[in-house]
Structure 1
Amino acid sequence: MTATEVRWTTRDIEALPENEWIRYEIIDGELVVTRSPHHKHQHLAGRIFSLLDQWSLETGLGEPSIMPGLIFSDSDSVSPDVVWVSYERLSQIQDEAGHFRGAPELVVEVLSPGKV
């Protein structure tokens, strides 16, 4: 890292103004800014959530979540489209604010055409 590079943290993200059309994530200290996903993207993520939710209700093993905060460190904070976590693991990784401080069993990121 050079002296001119900025290393973003979760505190920096908390200081930014809230905007429902912009998603902020931090990967290894680098700020990643994306706009709100397209309808088709959200529709597919919703279907995946729905299937996981139905399976979870039938099995009682855990629960899915849409765009939860996964905070692995002050410089690694992301919001995948859908995750699934067992109840056993949920009690180990969920903090008081409802964020996950560890990896769930399943993480789903729906890819859309455009910039990668």
Structure 2
Amino acid sequence: MSLSVRSRGVPMSREQFLQLPEGPPFYDYVNGEAIEVNRPTLRHQEILLALASQLLLHTRAKQLGKVAIEVNLELPNGNIYTPDILFYSPQTEPRLDLQRGYVRGVPDLIVEILSPSTAEYDRTQKMSDYAACQVPWVWLVDQDTLVIEEYQWTPEGYLRRQAVNAQTPFTPHLFLELTLQMAQLVPAASESESQEDF
């Protein structure tokens, strides 16, 4: 039996959530509720592809691990999200649920690209869960300004290690041989684009 969800925050069991058909619409599973999430738009996807391609090239060349984009991640607390980018080192290799196409476990890095409609959700609900599950590194990327914030997990919560603007080279602590400069990877948002909810 397939189920349908028409609004945000619909209570259901995990088993019911797993029976939902593939979207659209798309959902996260958070604390016993299916939460409808917006699909990404062009600006978001430009940033996603630019970052993911650089991470993929670097991690493959150095044999550092696996990069994945927009796959369902089942955290140890049972909540299910679809982060923009995941990275797993060989030491934290994910468990794959091939039947559902899910990844289980705690990745080394999660990257979330913030849009106006999702920024609060990403900064509060998701970051809280990522901290509870001890995800070591999280990057938050503002899609309008291209500022990258790098957070490291500590027992007291996430510590912001750096916030780098689009014109400044960003060298992540997780990949010390990688340098990214967002202004070179992604064209600046035009005035009209920044008014839209990308």
Confirm or deny a common fold (TM above 0.5): yes
Q: Quick one: structure 1 residues 9 and 107, their matched pair in 2 at CA, closer, same or farther if it must change by over 3 Å? A: farther
- Displacement of 1:112 in angstroms is 0.4
Match of 1:47 among 47, 50, 59: 50
Whole-angstrom distance in 1 between the partners of 2:53 and 2:45: 12
Q: Quick one: structure 1 residues 29 and 73, their matched pair in 2 at CA, closer, same or farther if it must change by over 3 Å? A: farther
Whole-angstrom distance in 2 between the partners of 1:30 and 1:75: 11
Q: Quick one: structure 1 residues 102 and 75, their matched pair in 2 at CA, closer, same or farther if it must change by over 3 Å? A: closer
Which position in structure 2 is the counterpart of 1:95? 96
Whole-angstrom distance in 2 between the partners of 1:43 and 1:102: 27
Higher RCO by CA contacts (8 Å cutoff, separation 6 or greater): 1
Match of 1:104 among 76, 98, 107: 107
- Displacement of 1:39 in angstroms is 0.8
- Displacement of 1:103 in angstroms is 0.8
How many residue pairs end up in the alignment?
A: 109
Residues 6-15 or 73-82, more deviating: 6-15
Question: Aligned AA for 1:41?
Answer: H
User: Deviation digits for residues 53-84 of structure 1, max 9, x if unmatched?
Assistant: 01112100102100122112584111101011
- For structure 2, list consecutive stretches of 5 or more residues without a partner in the other structure: 1-8, 121-198
Q: Does structure 2 conserve the Cα–Cα contact (< 8 Å) formed by 1:7 and 1:75?
A: no
Residues 99-108 or 65-74, more deviating: 65-74
Match of 2:19 among 3, 8, 15: 15
Q: Does structure 2 conserve the Cα–Cα contact (< 8 Å) formed by 1:9 and 1:76?
A: no
Question: Aligned AA for 1:18?
Answer: E
Identity over aligned residues, as a percent? Answer: 27
Which position in structure 2 is the counterpart of 1:65? 68
Question: Aligned AA for 1:15?
Answer: Q
Which position in structure 2 is the counterpart of 1:31? 34
2:104 maps to 1:81: no
Q: Does structure 1 conserve the Cα–Cα contact (< 8 Å) formed by 2:97 and 2:103?
A: no
Whole-angstrom distance in 1 between the partners of 2:102 and 2:63: 21
Q: Secondary structure at the match of 1:95?
A: strand
Q: Does structure 2 conserve the Cα–Cα contact (< 8 Å) formed by 1:10 and 1:74?
A: no
Whole-angstrom distance in 2 between the partners of 1:62 and 1:25: 25
Q: Does structure 2 conserve the Cα–Cα contact (< 8 Å) formed by 1:85 and 1:104?
A: yes
